[in-house]
Amino acid sequence: METIAFIGLGNMGAPMASNLLAAGLNVQVFDLLDSLTKPLGQAGAKVCHSIEDVVAGADSVVTMLPAGEHVKRVYLGEGDSKGVIHSVGKSTLLIDSSTIDPESARLVADEAAQRGLDFADAPVSGGVAGAAAGTLTFIVGGSERAFKRAEQVLGHMGKNIFHAGDSGCGQMGKICNNLMLGILMSGTCEALNLGIANGLDPNVLSNIMLQSSGRNWALELYNPCPGVMPNAPASNQYQPGFMTKLMLKDLGLGLEAAAQSQSPVPMGALARNLYAFHSMHGNQEVDFSSLFEFYRAQQG
């Protein structure tokens, strides 16, 4: 039976690894926080305590880490750790599903290639709910061969798997998507707050916009106003979900890419400033849809 090493069992990694277990694969898990690996151990995964341990005997490695610096550390090694690339067998497939800068993804892919290893950058869209339901969208960068191999593993965790292009293109596709999402969520919060401030019921207004040209993903699946959508983070004190600090990171990646290609991103820059302000006011760790509370707080 195929063995998958899974590193990073946070909000996204834990449900993704659970789906690999549910598919009947051997799953070995590692996170810096033991409290996060324990439930997976109880569900049948092998709990490991180092990078070297977790990748031993693995056919594929999947990582789900916060940012580029963590991905470089885990793959290239640091201190006592040799890193994934220098600890795996020759035919092991490497998949990073974190959202990071394309340059770091290409650096890790190049290092992997020097050892003859296939590496795919495969960031996801779909959030914690999509991770739990196994319906994530994967946006993959890498060679045709890496993509074909990755597709087999990713199919256990997602529904749509796109080959965006060479190494780094998966990350670039994801960055464009999240620039759009950051803008959409800000606009959705703004419109809902405006309606409420002028006497509209947020449930009624949401329904109107869902059937009109203001319809969008945030309204449809992730309404930021508490009480409108029982399963959205907004109705659970904005927990769990996609943390404000991660949206801020992604918008920063969008702005960096825009600076490199000299692309105009005025809307993305404005959205980034809104999230930066919101984050600075103690909201780093809550779901990004809590930006709605920022609008409520500014309301005269």
120: burial class by Cβ within 10 Å (0-12, 13-18, 19+)? buried
**7 makes contact with ligand NAD (CB under 6 A):** yes
Q: Please report how close the Cβ of residue 223 comes to ligand NAD at its closest, in angstroms.
A: 15
**Of residues 131 and 205, the one with the C-beta less far from ligand NAD:** 131
Q: Which two tokens stand for residue 260?
A: 């490199």
Could you identify the residue written with the tokens 């201190």?
79
**32 makes contact with ligand NAD (CB under 6 A):** yes
Contact at 8 Å (CB) between 292 and 193?
yes
**52 makes contact with ligand NAD (CB under 6 A):** no
Rounded Cα distance, 93 and 3, in Å: 11
Q: Which two tokens stand for residue 113?
A: 């290639």
**Of residues 74 and 157, the one with the C-beta less far from ligand NAD:** 74
Residue of the chain from 5, 20, 55, 64 that contacts ligand NAD (CB under 6 A): 64
Q: Which two tokens stand for residue 159?
A: 């529904």
Q: Please report how close the Cβ of residue 172 comes to ligand NAD at its closest, in angstroms.
A: 14
**121 makes contact with ligand NAD (CB under 6 A):** no
As annotated, the active-site residues are 174
**99 makes contact with ligand NAD (CB under 6 A):** yes
**61 makes contact with ligand NAD (CB under 6 A):** no
144: burial class by Cβ within 10 Å (0-12, 13-18, 19+)? exposed
Please calculate the CA angle 78-82-85 and round it to the nearest 5 degrees: 110
**159 makes contact with ligand NAD (CB under 6 A):** no
139 beta partners: 162
Query: For residue 233, how many C-alpha atoms fall within 13 Å in the half-sphere facing its CB?
Result: 23
**Of residues 54 and 192, the one with the C-beta less far from ligand NAD:** 54
**Of residues 96 and 205, the one with the C-beta less far from ligand NAD:** 96
* Touching ligand NAD, residues 180-219 (CB under 6 A): none
Q: What are the two backbone dihedrals, phi and then psi, of residue 54, each rounded to the nearest 5 degrees?
A: -70, -30
Q: Please report how close the Cβ of residue 149 comes to ligand NAD at its closest, in angstroms.
A: 21
Of 2-10, 86-94, 110-118, 188-196, the window that binds ligand NAD (rule: CB under 6 A) is 2-10
**58 makes contact with ligand NAD (CB under 6 A):** no
Q: What is the dihedral of CA 41, 44, 47, 51, to 10 degrees?
A: -130
Residues that bind ligand NAD in the complex, under the rule CB under 6 A? 7-13, 30-33, 36, 64-66, 70, 73-74, 98-99, 124, 127-128, 241-242, 246
